[in-house]
Amino acid sequence: DAGALDIAGIKGGKRAEVDINTKNITLISSNFNPAYIRKTSIEVGIRNDSSKRYENEITSHLTEKGISKFIEIGDIIFKDMKILSFRDIYNSLPTKWSVEISHLSIESILSYSIKETRVLEILKRLGCNVDVNNSIYTVTPPFERLDLVIPEDIVDEIGRIEGLDKIKSITPKLKNNDSSSREYILIEKIKDLLVNKGFSEIITRSFTNKGDIEVSYPMASDKGFLRTSLSSNVLSSVDLAVKNSILLGLDEIRIFEIGKVFDKDGEHTSLFAVIKNIKKKLEKEKEKIKAVRDEVLKELELDAQILCTVDDTGGIISLGGKHIGKTNHLDGAMEINLDLVLENIKKDLDISIIDIKQGTRKQFIPFSSYPFITRDIAMFVPTEISEEKAKDLIFNTLKKNAGNLLVKGPDLFDMFEKNGKKSIAFRMVFQSHDRTLSDEEVNSFMDELYKVVKTENWEVR
């Protein structure tokens, strides 16, 4: 017969199956090189319990236990079972090893006071043989515990069994000195500047569906390459933000990302920032991003030249004879190679230039995964009625009926006077955290609002 009986440590073959006609069984109790098992299982595309078990490295001492257990059970099931031969082709089993650690080191690493008797109790429960001499433990782990090799492994087990909840968390002291990474300081400075300009930072995947560098084993078919630019992911985030702009109450979108990009020449850290108007009446995005670009160059004291386009809003950013970035190659966008900035920057980069704010803790709440519904109401009211009074009446009425389902508004979006009357229009947003709202449900809230407005003798347009 041709073909393998199995892929050792990964998968048994069809030809090796036991059926009703089987009379003789060759039983192999084996162990395998963990690195080879992982590599082979990936190459053949088979990931199962067997490959996971062996690639995490188990002791070869278990092979004898395994085959002995099979014989024990087989002797009960098959009364006439005979063992014809037994061979051991690997007689160089791992020898015992020991790890030394002092009681003082255990307490120092854990930052926790623990009695010697408790340490001994924990180690013996783990199956370790322990000798103690002058508060120094010589620990001999069982063969199964191949992960207990260095003193820190022993401390980790003691902490786990004792209970990490009993160990006090201690924030390590940070040293703000000149040894801090220049790249880190530059990035943090740029982040501070952009956030102060109303931008929000995003972090997106490094994997995409096309690029110069292909991934050997991609996690998905559309993530088989490393990104060559941040633009695609950031612009996708802009589109998503635009769809939710009503819910967020935004007139414009300002987002940026700083991250690694990978092309045929290597990798570098890149900045991509973009501004997108929601309302057409606002200043053009091109002018806004140009102002942001100029502010960044000024703050970093970069002696850069701009090779402008026709309308003077965009162009290539040149520094030290190199093109380090570009502006408005996409409307409202700016892209800069921060590695080239680091090579040419003259400004001293020390930790003191970062604006570190103490006590500015922000609270975040989960957003709903269900769609929102908007409703507008436009009314004619007497000229003496203020927008605030109308807004309060709408808010109080809807809150009474809709409760927390009213997540945004009422927001005034239109107002004018005509024939001695004032027209005002408000927009409201409804959304649930546990279901999709129906039009009928939201319409019922609005019907109650129309009734209250009618009692005020206001005319709904």
Q: Which of the two residues, 134 and 363, has the higher pLDDT score? A: 134
Largest CA distance in the chain: 110
| Res. 302 pLDDT band, cuts 50 70 90 | confident
In the predicted model, is pLDDT for residue 249 greater than 80?
no
Q: Which of the two residues, 426 and 8, has the higher pLDDT score? A: 426
Helix (H, G, I), strand (E, B) or coil at 425: strand
In the predicted model, is pLDDT for residue 359 greater than 60?
no
In the predicted model, is pLDDT for residue 395 greater than 50?
yes
The two structure tokens encoding residue 201: 């930072």
Euclidean distance between CA atoms 288 and 291, whole angstroms: 5
The two structure tokens encoding residue 218: 């991609």
Comparing 182-353 with 373-460, is the CATH topology the same?
no
Helix ranges (H only) for 126-213 are: 151-162, 182-196
Other C-beta atoms lying within 10 Å of the C-beta of residue 332: 25
Mean pLDDT, the chain, integer: 86
CATH of region 182-353:
3.30.930.10
Q: What is the pLDDT of residue 310?
A: 62
In the predicted model, is pLDDT for residue 364 greater than 90?
no
In the predicted model, is pLDDT for residue 250 greater than 50?
yes
Q: Which CATH number fits domain 373-460: 3.30.70.380, 3.40.718.10, 3.40.630.30, 1.10.1270.20?
A: 3.30.70.380
Of the listed ranges 8-17, 330-339, 388-397, the least confidently predicted one is 8-17
Q: What is the pLDDT of residue 343?
A: 85
Asked if residues 254 and 219 have their Cβ atoms less than 8 Å apart, the reply is no
* Among 430, 424, 427, CA closest to 444: 430
In the predicted model, is pLDDT for residue 9 greater than 60?
yes
**Tens digit of pLDDT for each residue in 51-82?**
888 888 888 888 888 888 988 898 888 878 88
Q: What is the pLDDT of residue 133?
A: 94
Q: Which helix (H) or strand (E) is 66 found in, with range?
A: helix 62-77
User: What is the mean pLDDT of the segment spanning 174-179?
Assistant: 55
User: What is the mean pLDDT of the segment spanning 188-208?
Assistant: 92
Euclidean distance between CA atoms 379 and 375, whole angstroms: 13
Q: What is the pLDDT of residue 356?
A: 54
In the predicted model, is pLDDT for residue 179 greater than 60?
no
Q: What is the pLDDT of residue 312?
A: 67
Range list of β-strands (E), 23-177: 99-102, 129-133, 136-140
Euclidean distance between CA atoms 381 and 424, whole angstroms: 8
User: What is the mean pLDDT of the segment spanning 209-229?
Assistant: 89
Euclidean distance between CA atoms 436 and 135, whole angstroms: 64
* Among 242, 243, 311, 248, CA closest to 277: 242
Q: Which of the two residues, 303 and 282, has the higher pLDDT score? A: 303
The two structure tokens encoding residue 418: 């005509």
Distance of CA 402 to the CA centre of its chain: 35
* Among 39, 36, 86, 30, CA closest to 58: 30
DSSP code at position 169: P
In the predicted model, is pLDDT for residue 459 greater than 90?
no
User: What is the mean pLDDT of the segment spanning 249-266?
Assistant: 91
Of the listed ranges 109-113, 169-173, 398-402, 447-451, the least confidently predicted one is 169-173
Range list of β-strands (E), 419-458: 421-430
Of the listed ranges 139-143, 174-178, 388-392, 446-450, the least confidently predicted one is 174-178
**Tens digit of pLDDT for each residue in 76-125?**
888 788 887 778 887 677 888 999 999 999 999 998 999 999 999 999 99
In the predicted model, is pLDDT for residue 180 greater than 60?
no
Yes or no: domain 99-166 corresponds to CATH 3.40.1190.20: no
| Res. 336 pLDDT band, cuts 50 70 90 | very high
Of the listed ranges 164-178, 286-300, 442-456, the least confidently predicted one is 164-178
In the predicted model, is pLDDT for residue 2 greater than 80?
no
Range list of β-strands (E), 209-341: 213-214, 225-226, 252-263, 266-277, 305-308, 315-319, 322-327, 333-337
Asked if residues 301 and 307 have their Cβ atoms less than 8 Å apart, the reply is no
| Cβ contacts of 65 within 8 Å, gap of 6 or more | none
Domain ranges within the chain, ordered by starting residue: 6-77, 99-166, 182-353, 373-460
In the predicted model, is pLDDT for residue 358 greater than 60?
no
The two structure tokens encoding residue 97: 């090893």
In the predicted model, is pLDDT for residue 334 greater than 90?
yes
For a pLDDT cut of 70, what percent of the chain falls above it? Answer: 92
User: What is the mean pLDDT of the segment spanning 257-271?
Assistant: 93
Range list of β-strands (E), 264-365: 266-277, 305-308, 315-319, 322-327, 333-337
User: What is the mean pLDDT of the segment spanning 222-237?
Assistant: 92
Q: Which helix (H) or strand (E) is 459 found in, with range?
A: strand 459-460
Q: What is the pLDDT of residue 113?
A: 92
**Rg, C-alpha atoms of the chain:** 34
Asked if residues 112 and 122 have their Cβ atoms less than 8 Å apart, the reply is no
